[in-house]
Structure 1
Amino acid sequence: MPGFLKATNEWFRIYKIPAGKPENQFAFNGEAKNKSFALTIIKQANTQWQQLIKGQSKTEGINCDNTTVSGSPGYLEQDVAQKEIENSAQIGNAAPIDAEVDKWYYPKL
């Protein structure tokens, strides 16, 4: 699809303008990066997540309780996690949604 990447970048750059917000700014002067770059970033993010969930990085203010990474400091057996859920605050009625959230804007191209 020739031009699709450029059109996508353009849309993310200007889509907030009709609501009175400034144009979005992007790293790398708005240039798209290649597959190799993307895979490197994904690998780095996964490594950081692994370190976080295994207690190998700072977790101040971050709850790392989980039921999927056995051996991690925050690992909970399924029955313990279920009890935590049952003892937590009950979900109440949703707050009304402000009409501003439901506005649609169409930029002039």
Structure 2
Amino acid sequence: MSTTTAATPTQRSTHSRAVQRDIEPGSIVECILCGERIKFQAKIRPKQVICNVYEGKNWDRVEHFHAPCYAEAGEPHGPADTTPVVKARRVAAKNNPEMQKA
């Protein structure tokens, strides 16, 4: 038996936040702290921290850091969320029996 819930509008965050992600091939951004390019390296698999920065309640900019540089800077936008990204939602849904019932 399923239940229904009323749809709620998406709550958008209006405070600065940070996420830790893999560095993708072809990245052309520079680290805010050290000024060096954030480069993809296949064998090492380094991480970057991407920050959405808000001034007041308005989004202002995106800042990129090497993961060690973000820690060195004292996590200026709070602790980085390290939750993995789901890259293939269709595959996840296809393999989930609950989603196939619909």
* TM-score tier after normalising by the smaller chain length: under 0.3
**TM-score, length basis structure 2:** 0.22
Higher relative CO (CA 8 A, sep ≥ 6), structure 1 or 2?
2
- Relative to its length, the structure with more helix (as a share) is 1
**TM-score, length basis structure 1:** 0.21
Larger Rg: 1
- Relative to its length, the structure with more strand (as a share) is 2
